Amino acid sequence: MGINVILLGAGYGTRLERDVLNCSDEDREVCKLIAGLPKALLPVGGKSLIARWIDLLDETGKVDQYYLVTNDKYHEQFHKFCEAYGGKISLLNDGTKRNEDRMGAVASINFAIEKFVAADNDILVVGGDTLLYDDFSIYSFIKEFEKHKLASSTCSLVTTYQCRNEDTIKYGILEVNSCSMKVESFLEKPKADETTSRSACPCFYLFSSPCRAIIEEFLDDHRDAPLKEKDATGNLIKYLIAKCNVFTFPISGRFDVGGLQLYKDCDAYFSKCT
């Protein structure tokens, strides 16, 4: 049994777009380079962000199919990207044209799940604006997941890294049993004095196939909730904690390509690694 990978590329990158429109003379050249690109297609160290993920995951030999969720605004750009991979990537257009009409990240995950050819495969979710530091081992991550799945068929493995005290209010924070590495609770952007945990959780999750039913339940329960609740994948992790075993896999850090400076930092890092 293999893995179906869901690549989330349906965001509109409004913060980065604003930064590009208002960039300084110093950043004029880089802004020309990336203007109009969705974040998943940004060049990072000479290779698009999403291509880095595909190359890394292809090395495992575990992936059966990639599902790339985009919106109507960026569909043509992603279509050209996918052509180079033959039929390896199933491109899914959510039909939206504006940020205000977006489905939300969790709905995008479920949108892809509904299109799965191999319905019993496990599910790897990758944020289209996220890269992990180059010391991350995808082999060790999958091996750890397979170990947990032997003990519990309904389980998830999520990555965590240690953030600074002042940054807890920016991220979803997981409180984790230090012995079992099982997640005990999820806190949405807590103040530093509200928890001793500093375990931030980026959007890189591996779910066993039975978790798809829980994802559907989450969306049913949040059908009338504000979009921001369905857009924050941390809310899904919080929901999963109560219904299945969620374990953590520590990493050294990640890049979240939200704004221009964050993009420049990410590009500089991977340019050195190339």
In terms of Cα–Cα distance, which of 159, 130, 135 is closest to 145?
A: 159
Could you report the per-residue pLDDT of 59-69, keeping only the tens digit for each?
A: 999 999 999 99
Could you report the per-residue pLDDT of 259-268, keeping only the tens digit for each?
A: 999 999 999 9
CATH number at residue 267: 3.90.550.10
pLDDT at 226: 87
pLDDT at 230: 80
Half-sphere exposure of residue 260, counting CA atoms within 13 Å on the CB side?
A: 18
- Concatenating the DSSP letter of every residue in the chain gives --EEEEEE-----HHHHHHHHT--GGGHHHHHHHTT--GGG-EETTEEHHHHHHHHHHTTT-EEEEEEEE-TTTHHHHHHHHHTTTTSEEEEE----SGGG---HHHHHHHHHTT-SSTTSEEEEEETTEEE-TT--HHHHHHHHHHHHHH-SSEEEEEEEEPPGGGGGGSEEEEE-TTT-BEEEEEES--GGG-S--EE--SEEEE-TTHHHHHHHHHHHTTTS-HHHHH-HHHHHHHHHTTSEEEEEE-S-EEE--SHHHHHHHHHHHHHH-
pTM, rounded to two decimals: 0.96
> Residues with Cβ < 8 Å from 7, sequence gap 6 or more?
40, 50, 53, 66, 67, 68, 69, 89, 126, 128
Average pLDDT over residues 27-36: 96
What residue numbers bound the domain in which 162 lies? 3-273
pLDDT at 154: 96
Could you report the per-residue pLDDT of 238-261, keeping only the tens digit for each?
A: 999 999 999 999 999 999 999 999
Angle between helices 105-113 and 211-221 (to 10 degrees): 130
Could you report the per-residue pLDDT of 171-203, keeping only the tens digit for each?
A: 999 999 999 999 999 999 999 999 999 999 999
Tokens of 131: 């890269």
Could you report the per-residue pLDDT of 96-136, keeping only the tens digit for each?
A: 999 999 999 999 999 999 999 888 999 999 999 999 999 99
pLDDT at 232: 87
Could you report the per-residue pLDDT of 139-178, keeping only the tens digit for each?
A: 999 999 999 999 999 999 999 999 999 999 999 999 999 9
In the chain, the number of structural domains is 1
**What are the phi and psi torsion angles at 66 (to 5°)?**
-105, 140
How many other C-beta atoms lie within 10 A of the C-beta of residue 252? 11
Average pLDDT over residues 216-224: 92
User: How would you label 231-241 residue by residue, b for 16+ Cβ within 10 Å and e otherwise?
Assistant: bbbbbbbbbbb
Average pLDDT over residues 71-89: 95
- Quick one: pLDDT band at residue 274, thresholds 50, 70, 90? low
Could you report the per-residue pLDDT of 42-52, keeping only the tens digit for each?
A: 999 999 999 99
Rounded-to-integer distance, Cα 95 and Cα 92, Å:
9
The sign of the torsion formed by the CA atoms of 164, 165, 168, 169 equals negative
